[in-house]
Amino acid sequence: MCILWGTTYLAIRIAVATWEPFLFGGLRFAAAGTIVILAMRLRGTRVPRDARLMRESAIAGTLLLVGGNAAVILAERHVPSGITAVMVSTMPIWTVVISAFTPRGHRLGPLTWIGLLGGLAGVVVLVWPELAGPLPANRDFLLGVVILQLGSISWAAGSVYVVSRRASVPPLLAAGLQMLAGGIVMILIGTLFGEWARLHPDRHGWEAFLYLLVFGSLLGYVAFVYALQHLPVAKVSLYGYVNPIVAVIVGALILDERFGLREAVATAIVLAAVALARVGEIEPA
pLDDT in tens, 88-138: 888 878 888 888 888 777 777 787 788 888 888 888 887 777 766 666 657
Residue 167's pLDDT band (cuts 50, 70, 90): low
Q: Does residue 127 sit within a domain?
A: yes
Rounded to two decimals, what is the model's pTM? 0.85
How long a stretch of residues is the chain? 285
Q: How many domains does the chain have?
A: 1
Residue 120 lies inside a defined structural domain of this protein:
yes
Domain extent for 252: 2-280
Q: Does residue 108 form part of some domain?
A: yes
In-domain check, residue 142 = yes
pLDDT in tens, 67-77: 999 999 999 99
List CB contacts of 138: < 8 A, sequence separation 6 or more: 130, 131
198 belongs to a structural domain? yes
Considering the domain boundaries, does residue 285 fall inside one? Answer: no
Residues 274 and 119 sit within 8 Å (Cβ to Cβ): yes
Which comes out higher in pLDDT, residue 219 or 163? 219
Indicate the pLDDT class of residue 12, thresholds 50, 70 and 90: very high
